[in-house]
């Protein structure tokens, strides 16, 4: 495997696209070279597990658009590696690292009420309570439930499990 170096000006998006195209070409080449008569019979249809990739949420306060309409219900999709890498080359994030969550959330929120084009400007105009809720929601859906920890009480030395993400709004 070749190691590739991506500098800030070289364009992560272009590098990722080139790598994906090269991988697809390598996978198609052996299939095209094999004679049609030697093609294996299709495998029987197996019952496939479905992976939930979008999750519904309801904001505590809601996003107020330019017309004054409040949008509280939305959907967020699972993040990809590209979603996590792309903000690292964003100039706004380089100037202010706290802006990372705004860019990241704008990439994974697929719908907010009737708004389908969620961008950084929309996340910027959300109330801090809603942004904190979305950051917690992002962490929950992308950690696959790995927010439980085994703890021991310092007084009674009893062991139990706690959910570090909190179960209700306002908990952490």
Q: Which residues contact 124 (CB under 8 A, 6 or more apart)?
A: 102
* Spatial distance between the Cα atoms of 12 and 6, rounded to a whole number of angstroms: 6
Strand, helix or coil for residue 135: helix
Helix axes 100-108, 128-142, angle to 10 degrees: 70
Structure token digits, residue 60: 């505590």
Q: Are 76 and 141 in contact (CB under 8 A)?
A: yes
Around 135, how many Cα atoms within 13 Å sit in the side-chain half-sphere?
A: 17
Percent of the chain residues past pLDDT 70, beyond the cut: 62
What rounded mean pLDDT belongs to the chain? 78
The dihedral region occupied by 157, where left means phi > 0, alpha psi between -120 and 50, and beta the remainder, is left
pLDDT, tens digit, for every residue of 140-157? Answer: 999 864 445 678 888 998
The dihedral region occupied by 110, where left means phi > 0, alpha psi between -120 and 50, and beta the remainder, is alpha
User: According to the model, what pLDDT value does residue 166 have?
Assistant: 44
Other beta carbons within 10 angstroms of residue 47's beta carbon come to: 5
Measured at the alpha carbon of residue 85, what is the angle toward residues 83 and 87, in degrees to the nearest 5? 80
pLDDT, tens digit, for every residue of 69-123? Answer: 999 999 999 999 999 999 999 999 999 999 999 999 999 999 999 999 999 999 9
Phi, psi for 11 (deg, rounded to 5):
90, 95
User: According to the model, what pLDDT value does residue 148 have?
Assistant: 56
* Spatial distance between the Cα atoms of 113 and 111, rounded to a whole number of angstroms: 6
Percent of the chain residues past pLDDT 90, beyond the cut: 51
């Amino acid at each position: 495997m070749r190691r590739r170096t991506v500098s800030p000006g070289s364009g992560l998006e272009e590098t990722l696209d080139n790598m994906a195209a090269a991988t697809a070409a390598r996978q198609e080449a052996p299939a095209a070279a094999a004679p049609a008569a030697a093609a294996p019979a299709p495998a029987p249809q197996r019952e496939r597990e479905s992976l939930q990739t979008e999750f519904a949420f309801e904001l505590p306060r809601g996003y107020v658009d330019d017309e004054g309409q409040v949008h509280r219900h939305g959907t967020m999709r699972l993040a990809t590696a590209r979603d996590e890498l792309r903000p690292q080359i964003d100039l706004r994030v380089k100037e202010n690292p706290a802006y990372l969550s705004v860019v990241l959330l704008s990439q994974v929120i697929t719908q907010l009420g009737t708004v389908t084009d969620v961008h950084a400007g929309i996340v910027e105009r959300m109330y801090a309570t809603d942004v904190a809720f979305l950051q917690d929601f992002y962490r929950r859906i992308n950690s696959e439930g790995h927010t439980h920890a085994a703890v021991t009480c310092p007084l009674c030395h009893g062991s139990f499990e706690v959910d570090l993400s909190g179960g209700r709004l306002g908990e952490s």
